[in-house]
């Protein structure tokens, strides 16, 4: 073959290589575009806040973006059989104050009415308090009243959603423990001196860190697992009715609420 022919052949191979290379680059770019992860579905860290044992706000990083709690309640923290009716004086004439129950203003609320952000149970001292969900104990801070809040999350870290049993004593678990819904984790607290003699108090809550401003609570009874939902709603309505009959005042509760125990479904800051 002449040198001229050989040069032409080499030039032809070079053109082919260039064309193939360009094709590979184009296909790579197309594949990268088509299979690029959707940023809307990524878990981006967000900043949330919670209160520590001295009431200061702490910043916490989380990777949860959902507007729905990741876990549903399989327990309400106590058993309905634990309620013991009494004729002794009660501060609000109730053994149960629901989410959104209006607490009249006093010196601790600067004279302003306050919506209760956590359903409150008044039960005999020694009554077991149970985990609300299947999860991991993330924190057990001492709260303003000198007792404890046991905080459970899905991962064991302080996340965007925290499940609380607040105002408890004698914790039976520690941070890092895996817990099952209904498992005994503490006892009701005696911090509330307005409770009848021999009675204690516990509150349950779902704390939602929004990432901006103070955290907020949502009504726990709006997030019951299907396995206990209808039975719990029926038991709550029966509790309300039985207590009203016992105390002789049928105006204390609204049994017609679609979500018993939730006077409001709006988030409450605090």
pLDDT reading at 66 higher than 80:
no
Please tell me whether residues 27 and 61 are part of one structural domain: no
Higher local confidence (pLDDT), 210 or 78? 78
The percent of residues in the chain predicted with pLDDT above 90, rounded, is 65
Please tell me whether residues 145 and 203 are part of one structural domain: yes
CATH number at 175 reads 2.70.70.10
- Report the C-alpha gap between 120 and 55 in whole angstroms: 20
Mean per-residue pLDDT, 85-92 = 94
Mean per-residue pLDDT, 73-93 = 96
Please tell me whether residues 124 and 199 are part of one structural domain: yes
Mean per-residue pLDDT, 82-96 = 96
pLDDT reading at 55 higher than 90:
no
pLDDT confidence bin for 90, thresholds 50/70/90: very high
- Report the C-alpha gap between 136 and 152 in whole angstroms: 5
**DSSP assignment, residue 113?**
-
Higher local confidence (pLDDT), 210 or 177? 177
**DSSP assignment, residue 39?**
G
pLDDT at 108: 52
Please tell me whether residues 7 and 57 are part of one structural domain: no
Please tell me whether residues 160 and 87 are part of one structural domain: yes
Please tell me whether residues 107 and 239 are part of one structural domain: yes
Please tell me whether residues 20 and 97 are part of one structural domain: no
Please tell me whether residues 22 and 118 are part of one structural domain: no
Give the range of the structural domain holding residue 102, as residue numbers without chain letter: 43-269
Could you read off the pLDDT of 102-161 as tens digits, one per residue?
Answer: 988 765 556 688 999 999 999 999 999 999 999 999 999 999 999 999 999 999 998 899
Q: Are 124 and 199 in contact (CB under 8 A)?
A: yes
Q: What is the CA radius of gyration of the chain?
A: 29
Nearest to 206 by CA among 190, 191, 222: 222
- Report the C-alpha gap between 23 and 255 in whole angstroms: 70
Please tell me whether residues 168 and 239 are part of one structural domain: yes
Q: State how many domains the chain has.
A: 2
Please tell me whether residues 117 and 24 are part of one structural domain: no
Please tell me whether residues 10 and 64 are part of one structural domain: no
pLDDT at 214: 80
At 168, list the tokens. Answer: 């408890």
pLDDT reading at 53 higher than 50:
no
- Report the C-alpha gap between 188 and 120 in whole angstroms: 11
Please tell me whether residues 205 and 116 are part of one structural domain: yes
């Amino acid at each position: 073959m002449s040198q001229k022919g050989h040069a032409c052949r080499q030039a032809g191979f070079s053109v082919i290589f260039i064309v193939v290379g360009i094709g590979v680059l184009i296909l790579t770019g197309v594949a990268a575009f088509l299979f690029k992860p959707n940023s809307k579905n990524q878990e981006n860290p967000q900043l949330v806040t919670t209160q520590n044992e001295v009431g200061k706000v702490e910043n916490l990083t989380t990777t949860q973006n959902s507007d729905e709690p990741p876990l549903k309640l399989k327990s309400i923290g106590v058993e309905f059989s634990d309620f013991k009716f009494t004729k002794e004086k009660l501060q609000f004439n109730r053994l149960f104050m629901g989410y959104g129950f209006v607490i009249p203003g006093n010196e601790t609320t600067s004279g302003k009415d306050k919506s209760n952000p956590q359903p409150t149970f008044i039960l005999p001292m020694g009554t077991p308090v149970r985990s609300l969900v299947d999860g991991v104990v993330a924190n057990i801070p001492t709260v303003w009243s000198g007792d404890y809040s046991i905080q459970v999350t899905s991962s064991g870290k302080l996340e965007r959603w925290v499940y609380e049993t607040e105002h408890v004593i004698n914790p039976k678990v520690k941070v890092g423990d895996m817990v099952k819904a209904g498992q005994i984790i503490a006892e009701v607290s005696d911090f509330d001196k307005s409770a009848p003699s021999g009675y204690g108090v516990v509150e349950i809550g779902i704390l939602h860190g929004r990432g901006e401003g103070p955290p907020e609570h949502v009504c726990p009874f709006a997030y019951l697992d299907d396995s206990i939902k209808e039975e719990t709603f029926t038991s709550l309505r029966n509790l309300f009715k039985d207590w009203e009959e016992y105390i002789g005042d049928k105006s204390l509760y609204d049994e017609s609420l679609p979500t018993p125990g939730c006077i409001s479904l709006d988030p409450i800051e605090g």
